[in-house]
Amino acid sequence: MSREVTLRRPDDWHLHLRDGAMLRAVLPESARHFARAIIMPNLVPPVVTGAQAAAYRDRIRAALPDGMDFAPLMTLYLTEDTDPEDVAAAQVSGLVHAVKLYPAGATTNSASGVTDFDRVRPVLEKMAEIGLPLCVHGEVTDPEVDIFDREAVFIDRVLDPIRRATPGLRVVMEHITTRQGADYVRSAEADLAATITTHHLIINRNHILVGGIRPHYYCLPVAKREEHRLALRAAATSGDRRFFLGTDSAPHVDAAKETGCGCAGCFTATNTLSLLAHVFEEEEALDRLERFTSLNGPAFYGLPANEDTITLRRGDDPVRFPAKIDSDDGPVTVFDPGFEVYWTAP
Ligand code: DOR
Ligand code: ZN
C-alpha cells in the first residue's frame, strides 16, 4: 500500500555533530532533512563561552556542502565557572538558543559538567530572567544509584528542586527514557518540555543485551524496560506540545563502539525520519507526526515553524539504508531498527 505524508520541514532539537572529519561526514546526513538543530556542546574541550560557540558555528557552516541549507542553533556547556553575563550576551546576539547541563561524569565528555548545583545558581537565575532554555541531561551520577533508576532519581533529587528554586526557568528534559520522565513533563503547565529520541521509541533494554551484547544500541540514558518505551511512544504520538523530537544522533567510529569499553551513542541521522514514520504509522498517529518533528519544538523555543515541507512516502518494498557511513576517522554504523521499513524521505 503506498501512502505519503507531508510535513513542515523538521528540526532536530538535540544533535551531536562533533568536529573535524566526523563533522564533515555526519553533517549532510542531518542537513538533508532537517532545517535546524540544537547543537550539543560536548566537544573536547567543551563549548563553554559565547566566543567558542561562535567559532564552532562557523566551523559547522564551513563544513556544510554547497547547496544544502541548515541552521545550527548553538548551545553553551554549563560549568561551575560559567559567567551569567557571557550567557546573556550570547543570547542577545542571536547566537545561543540554550545552555546544556551535564551532571559531571554522566555521559560522553561530561567531565567539565556540574557537581555542585548551588554554584550555577546565578547562571540559572539569569537564564530565567532572560527566558533562555536549560537543556538537561537528566541522570544522577551517584554510584549507589542503579543505572536504570538514574533518570527517575534525578527528577526527585535535582531537577524538581532546581525548578522550584528558580521560578520561570525554562527547561527541556533531554532524551527522556522513562514513564516518570514523561509524567513529570505532563505535570507542569508551563516552562517544561522534553525531547524524545527515535531510538528510544524503538528499542528497550532487551535489544541491547539479549542474544549477545549490541554496542550500537548502547546510549545514555540507556534504554529501559518495555513499559517505558511504550510510555515514550504514547507521549511522542500524543501531539502534546510538550514533547518533540531530539534525535540525540551521536556518532562514534565503530572502533570506539565495538571494544572492551564502548562509547555511548546511537547514530540515527541517516534514517530517523523513515523510522519515525514507521513508528507513528504503527501507533495510528501519522496525522500527529508533524507536531512532534516540526511544530512543538519551534513553539517551545519561540521560533517560527519552517515554511518549506518534506514528503515521506511509503512504498511496497523495504528501504535499504546504508549500514555505515564513512568518515576520515573510520566508519560509523547507522542505527538498525531490526525490522523492515517502507518509508523513504527525499
Ligand atoms: O548516548 C549518548 N551519547 N548520550 C549522551 O548523553 C552523549 C552522547 C555522545 O556525545 O556521544
Ligand atoms: Zn546527547
Q: Where are the alpha helices (DSSP H) in 16-136?
A: 20-31, 50-63, 84-92, 121-130
d(CA 223, CA 123): 31
Å from CA of 131 to ligand 1 middle? 26
Residues 6+ apart with CB under 8 A from 326: 25, 332
Q: Which residues pair with 324 in a beta bridge?
A: 333
Å from CA of 30 to ligand 2 middle? 15
Domain formed by 4-344, architecture: Alpha-Beta Barrel (3.20)
Å from CA of 238 to ligand 1 middle? 26
Domain ranges of the chain: 4-344
Mutate to test the pocket of ligand 1, among 12, 14, 16 (most ligand atoms within 8 A of CB): 16
d(CA 297, CA 328): 33
Mutate to test the pocket of ligand 1, among 17, 39, 42, 102 (most ligand atoms within 8 A of CB): 42
Dihedral angle, C-alpha 309, 310, 311, 312, nearest 10 °: -140
Atom of ligand 1 nearest to the CA of 252: 11
Give the pLDDT of the chain (346 residues) as one tens digit per residue.
Answer: 569 999 999 999 999 999 999 999 999 999 999 999 999 999 999 999 999 999 999 999 999 999 999 999 999 999 999 999 999 999 999 999 999 999 998 887 888 899 999 999 999 999 999 999 999 999 999 999 999 999 999 999 999 999 999 999 999 999 999 999 999 999 999 999 999 999 999 999 999 999 999 999 999 999 999 999 999 999 999 999 999 999 999 999 999 999 999 999 999 999 999 999 999 999 999 999 999 999 999 999 999 999 999 999 999 999 999 999 999 999 999 999 999 999 999 9
Å from CA of 161 to ligand 2 middle? 23
- CA geometry: angle 280, 284, 288, nearest 5 deg: 60
Q: Which residues line ligand 1 (CB under 6 A)?
A: 16, 42, 107-108, 137, 219-220, 250, 264-265
Q: Give the pLDDT confidence score for residue 187 in this predicted structure.
A: 97
> Is 68 in contact with 32 (CB distance < 8 Å)?
yes
Residue nearest ligand 1's atom 3 by CA: 265
Q: Give the pLDDT confidence score for residue 109 in this predicted structure.
A: 84
Q: Give the pLDDT confidence score for residue 38 in this predicted structure.
A: 98
- Taking the model in full, what pTM does it have? 0.98
Q: Is 12 a catalytic residue?
A: no
Please tell me which residue in 248, 326, 328, 336 is annotated as part of the active site.
Answer: 248
Q: Give the pLDDT confidence score for residue 175 in this predicted structure.
A: 98
Q: Give the pLDDT confidence score for residue 108 in this predicted structure.
A: 78
Q: Give the pLDDT confidence score for residue 107 in this predicted structure.
A: 81
Q: Give the pLDDT confidence score for residue 111 in this predicted structure.
A: 84
